[in-house]
Structure 1
Amino acid sequence: MTNDTPVRPATAFAVAALGIFVFSGMDAVMKGLVLALGVYTTMFWRSLAGAILSGALYAGTRSPWPTRAAMRLHLIRGLVSVVMALSFFWGLARIPMAQAIALAFIAPILSLFLAALILKEHVPRGSVIACACAAGGVALILTGQARADLGREALAGTIAVLLSAVCYAFNIILMRAQAQVAKPIEVAFWQSLIVSTCLLIAAPWFADVPDSQHIPTILGAAVLATVSLLLLGWAYQHGEASYLAPTEYTSFVWAAILGWLVFAEPLSPWTLAGAALIVAGCFIAARGKPTAVPQLEVAP
């Protein structure tokens, strides 16, 4: 599915940056909920609320049933998103927001190597250098953790966020491919529905019914998640992925501000240095990156 209406690149960039800002706000809300309710309960009810909200919007568009290729992408991305979200929010409850986002920055670099593996693309020399920079950045952040003696919980949280980053790297490739075959509202609805359905399987054992005081916050997180999915889906439909990639780095600024304001989290110099190395690696990788949107083979 393509859109022939021309959109200024700056407009797509601004919409993507707004989407990242909204997503960062959702991260802060989710961290508070995870600390209060646990990761599974929070994810299940937020995803269910998101599916209902996006489903109402999707039904209003009277869109046709997704094509077979689009549905396969929806299913794959939904399954990947379950692991990605559970591991990220579990880790986010154990380490500062800015540190979690900094670690997640390795995803754009990892996506280049996954593109080589999945799409058979050539890995340029710059990507290897970028990977070394990212590894150095992660090492600096881990060094800061060790010096601060944050304990095993922080280390486990870091490992969980790194696992989530690997999933997000794959998610980036899927998001680019989805934007070519489905509208943003379709992407938002099916992702929320698939994630909530997967979580529903184990909900009788792991999910609790939240107190009424948490319901408005869960609904707020669902609204923020849906809005961010719509904004990013629209932006990637109208702008080249390599041009929009730098908007991901603004999330570190929002995470640092929200972490300090909401959770009184200090910003470690080690985290700043590590984030700088990782972001530098991302820009090195992006310099040699082709601007064409990669295509996944989704035909049966």
Structure 2
Amino acid sequence: MSNEQTLKGVLLAFAAFAAFSWSDASVKLIEGALSAYEMAFFGAVFGLVGLPFLMKRGDHLVEMLRTTNRPLWLLRAFAAAIGTISSVTAFTYLSMAEAFALIFLLPSFVTIMSVVFLKEQVGIRRWSAVVIGFIGVLVVLRPGFRELSVGHLAAVFAGLSGGISIVVYHAIGHREKGISLYGAGVLGSLLVCGLLMIPGFAWPSAIQWLMLAGYGLFAALATILMMYATAHAPAAVIGPTQYSQMLWAVLFGYLVFGDSVDLPMLLGILLIIGSGLLTLARERARGVANPPSVATDGQGNALAVDETDDA
């Protein structure tokens, strides 16, 4: 793969994560006026606009429901729904920077679940990255020194749900069509969120419709851009670009939401990002072949970077 192609892939990845950040900012602008279930549902509906661009030649819509492993397909569907609801809740109650910091625990969750469920062998460097990540979380949360909210729990669940989706990809992705895994995520979100939103449904205002459209359409655009990015550069190269979302989070927080980042939070964010980058760097140094990114649930929290054995 030429340097020019790799650079193109990296630039497309930066653009994808910028679009994901605009998507998250759009749902945050609703300020919790609608239920998380309703926002997640309509975000998924608008996100369907990107489906024709994600389908490969020979793919058919019915293949969204086909799978070689129904239990894992259903697990992916459920994880995507929980992840979408959790991320919407996190961005509603937390600053974008704080929400992203906790969601970025995803690589640590993937490492732990890979050991428990996939029986992978993980060495001291990967475990060190996990420990650093969780220390970063304690610094960000400062339990006992500040009030914690449902948003903090939701952000952790968003990272955990994204991790489950990636582990499912590792388990069956080599024999599963991409449209099937994508279908599990989007159909799970539509079904679960659609049912849960019914009791408290409120018709969105014109401005809220605009924000919901931005939430879903920017996520669809980001997923398409990520597909093209992974076609030009390996996931190990473009993986670190996901942390550019933190820059967008700080920018949106300062210019739009009036948020600030204090010194302890900044230190915790740096530890969590360092943990993720350490994991990615370790995989790249080993020359591990990485799968393409997986759109977990239309929210853009994570890049599905392979987390295989460590020496």
Confirm or deny: 8 A CA contact 1:40 1:206 kept in the other structure.
Answer: no
How far has the Cα of 1:238 moved from its partner? 4.9
Aligned residue number for residue 196 of structure 2: 202
CA drift at 1:56: 5.8
1:54 aligns with 50
Question: Aligned equivalents of 2:289 and 2:203: distance in 1?
Answer: 46
Q: Give 1:253 deviation, angstroms.
A: 0.8
Q: Residue 179 of structure 1 contacts residue 237 of structure 1 at CA under 8 Å; is this kept in 2?
A: no
Displacement of 1:79: 1.9
In the alignment, structure 1 segments of 5+ residues that lack a partner are none
Name the counterpart of 1:35.
32
Tell me if structure 2 keeps the 8 A contact 1:58–1:186. no
Q: Is the helix fraction higher in 1 or 2?
A: 1
C-alpha separation in 1, matches of 2:71 and 2:54: 18
Rounded Cα–Cα distance in structure 2 between residues aligned with 1:226 and 1:111:
24
Report the CA distance between 1:59 and its aligned residue: 8.3
Q: Which residue of 1 is the match for residue 130 of structure 2?
A: 131
Distance 1:117 1:92 in 2: 30
Distance 2:50 2:71 in 1: 19
- The answer on whether the counterparts of 2:50 and 2:221 sit within 8 Å (CA) in structure 1 is no
**Do the aligned partners of residues 247 and 87 (structure 1) sit closer, same or farther apart at CA in structure 2, a change above 3 Å counting?**
same
Task: Please list the CA deviations of residues 164-192 of structure 1 after superposition, one character each: whole Å capped at 9, or x if unmatched.
Answer: 11112223344676598545x77656633
| Alpha-carbon shift at residue 264 of structure 1 (Å) | 0.7
Paired residue secondary structure (2:149): helix
State the alpha-carbon separation in 2 of the partners of residues 193 and 120 from structure 1.
29
What SS does the corresponding residue of 2:33 show, helix, strand or coil? helix
- CA deviation map 1:83-120 (0-9, x unaligned): 11211221222221101111111111221222223332
Contact 2:81 2:192 in 1 (8 A): yes
Q: Percent of pairs identical after alignment?
A: 20
Aligned residue for 1:263? 257
Larger deviation, residues 69-78 vs 167-176: 69-78
Matched, 1:247 2:241: yes
Give SS of 2:107's match: helix
Residues 13, 229 of structure 2: 8 Å contact kept: yes
Native 8 Å contact 2:28 2:91 kept in 1: yes
Aligned to 2:83: 84
Count of residues in Structure 1 that have an aligned counterpart in Structure 2: 286
Select which of 139, 147, 151 maps to 1:157: 151
Of 210, 233, 250 in structure 2, the residue corresponding to residue 216 of structure 1 is: 210
2 CA distance for matches of 1:16 and 1:215?
27
Tell me the equivalent position of 1:193. Answer: 187
Q: Choose the corresponding residue for 2:221, options 196, 206, 227.
A: 227
Counterparts in 2 of 1:243 and 1:217: CA distance versus 1, 3 Å: same
CA distance in 2, matches of 1:225, 1:134: 26
Query: 3-state DSSP class of the match of 1:288?
Result: helix
1:89-128 to 2 correspondence within 5 Å? 89-128=88-127
Are the counterparts in 1 of residues 53 and 224 from structure 2 also a CA contact under 8 Å?
A: no
SS of alignment partner, residue 122 of structure 2: coil
* 1:90/1:160 contact within 8 Å kept: yes
Structure 1 residue 58 displacement after superposition: 6.5
TM-score (norm 1): 0.81
